[in-house]
């Protein structure tokens, strides 16, 4: 299981990366995609949507199950990754390159409250 040290994580298996422009990129972890298996469908939030922390934001479906993807923090969706909608298997190939959506955080400090790599590694087995 790959867990990059430069990202933040949630207990519900989302990752986020702070971008230079002040936005955050959000995706599902390698652990999540392994549990789901081959992804066949991804539904993303609408650009402009305002999401609360832990609100359902997207859906990923595999041959085995469907799973909700939650907003890791509160904010507004500013971009979605149409490439993963067109080719969901990209998430299986590299979960950390295949971001799902980008948000402008309501409070940038909320990012720091999320799990670091070591904390996520410890919680991923739960």
pLDDT for the residue numbered 125: 64
Please compute the mean of the pLDDT values over residues 8-12 and round it to a whole number. Answer: 96
Total-model pTM? 0.95
Q: How many CB atoms lie within 10 A of CB 90?
A: 17
Measured CA to CA, the distance from residue 57 to residue 103 in angstroms comes to 11
Measured CA to CA, the distance from residue 54 to residue 21 in angstroms comes to 23
Please compute the mean of the pLDDT values over residues 60-65 and round it to a whole number. Answer: 94
pLDDT for the residue numbered 123: 86
Confidence band, pLDDT 50/70/90 cuts, at residue 1: confident
Measured CA to CA, the distance from residue 90 to residue 100 in angstroms comes to 11
Confidence band, pLDDT 50/70/90 cuts, at residue 2: confident
């Amino acid at each position: 299981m790959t867990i990059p040290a430069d990202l933040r994580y949630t207990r519900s298996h989302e990752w986020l990366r702070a971008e230079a422009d002040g936005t955050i990129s959000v995706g599902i972890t390698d652990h999540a995609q392994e549990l789901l298996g081959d992804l066949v469908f991804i539904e993303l939030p609408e650009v402009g949507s305002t999401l609360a922390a832990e609100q359902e934001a997207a859906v990923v479906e595999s041959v085995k199950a469907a799973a909700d993807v939650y907003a890791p923090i509160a904010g507004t969706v500013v971009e979605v990754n149409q490439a993963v909608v067109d080719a969901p298997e990209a998430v299986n190939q590299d979960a950390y390159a295949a971001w799902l959506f980008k948000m402008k955080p309501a409070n940038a400090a909320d990012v720091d409250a999320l799990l670091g790599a070591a904390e996520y590694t410890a919680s991923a087995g739960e």
